[in-house]
Amino acid sequence: MIRLQQTTSISMVPLTLTLFSLAAVSNLLFARDRTIDIPENARAASYGIGWECKQGYQRVNDTCKAVEVPDNAYPTGLSYGRASKCNWGYRQVAEGCVAIDVPANAYLRHSGIEWECDRGYRADGDACVAIDVPANAYLTEATYGPGWKCERGYRVVDTKCMAVQLPDNAHLDYSGSGWDCNPPYRKQQNKCAPP
C-alpha cells in the first residue's frame, strides 16, 4: 500500500506542473491584451487598470486637460468632477467665484457660503432687522415666532407681556404664564373654589 500511494503522488506531479504552466502562460497572454496607451500629462492608475491624470490636470474624454482655476478659488486635485472650489466667503457662479454679500448685523456661517443674523436680529430678505423685545421679555434662540418670550409671571397679549393675574388661593403654573389652584381648591372660571 505504501508503494501505491507513492506512485499515485508521483504521477500527480507532472499533472500539477502542467496546470501551473498553463496558468502562467494564460496570465502572460492576458497581460499582453491589457496594454493601454497613456495620454500626455497622465500616469498609470495607482490601483486597478487604466490611467489617471497628473495633479493639475483633469480627464476630458481620452486626454488630460490643464485645470483652469478662477480667481478666489483653489484646485481640488481631483481628476474628475469639480476641478476647483471657491474660497471661504465666495460662491460658485457660472465658471467663477463671487464674494458673498453679508449684510449689516450678520456673519458668515461655518460653511463660508451662507450668512446668519447676529443675536437680536432676524433675516428679512437680504437684510437683518432688530427684534423688538417688549418689556418683561427676553430674546430666544428660536428661528420661528417673535424671537422673544415673556418672563415668568407674564403672558403674551398681542405684542406685549402682561402680568398674570392670580386669583385668591392660586399660584403660577409650571409654564409661568398661567395659574393653578392651591390644593384642595379647584378652577371654576377665573376663580379657585373650595371643594
pLDDT at 132: 94
Same-domain check for residues 62 and 79: yes
Is residue 46, in this structure, part of any structural domain at all? yes
Q: How many domains does the chain have?
A: 3
8 Å CB contact between 148 and 140 = yes
How many Å apart are CA 120 and CA 190, to the nearest integer? 36
Q: Nearest 10 degrees: CA dihedral of 80, 83, 89, 91?
A: -80
How many Å apart are CA 43 and CA 63, to the nearest integer? 11
What does R_g of the chain's alpha carbons equal in angstroms?
Answer: 39
pLDDT 10s digits, 43-69: 888 887 888 888 888 888 889 888 888
Is residue 170, in this structure, part of any structural domain at all? no
Same-domain check for residues 62 and 84: yes
Is residue 120, in this structure, part of any structural domain at all? yes
Same-domain check for residues 85 and 108: no
Q: How many CA atoms lie within 13 A of 116 on its CB side?
A: 9
Among residues 82, 115, 130, the one where a domain terminates is 130
Same-domain check for residues 49 and 30: no
Helix (H), strand (E) at residue 52: strand 51-53
Residue 17 main-chain phi, psi, to 5 deg: -60, -40
Q: What single DSSP character describes residue 182?
A: P
Same-domain check for residues 46 and 90: yes
Is residue 117, in this structure, part of any structural domain at all? yes
Mean pLDDT by 10 residues, the chain (195 residues): 47 56 51 68 84 84 87 82 88 90 95 92 94 95 88 94 95 94 93 92
Same-domain check for residues 71 and 52: yes
Is residue 180, in this structure, part of any structural domain at all? no
Same-domain check for residues 28 and 42: no
How many Å apart are CA 52 and CA 97, to the nearest integer? 27
Domain with 106, as residue range(s), is 102-130
Is residue 86, in this structure, part of any structural domain at all? yes
Same-domain check for residues 42 and 92: yes
Is residue 193, in this structure, part of any structural domain at all? no
Is residue 107, in this structure, part of any structural domain at all? yes
How many Å apart are CA 123 and CA 103, to the nearest integer? 10
Same-domain check for residues 79 and 29: no
pLDDT 10s digits, 77-102: 776 677 789 999 999 888 889 999 99
How many Å apart are CA 59 and CA 132, to the nearest integer? 56
pLDDT at 188: 92
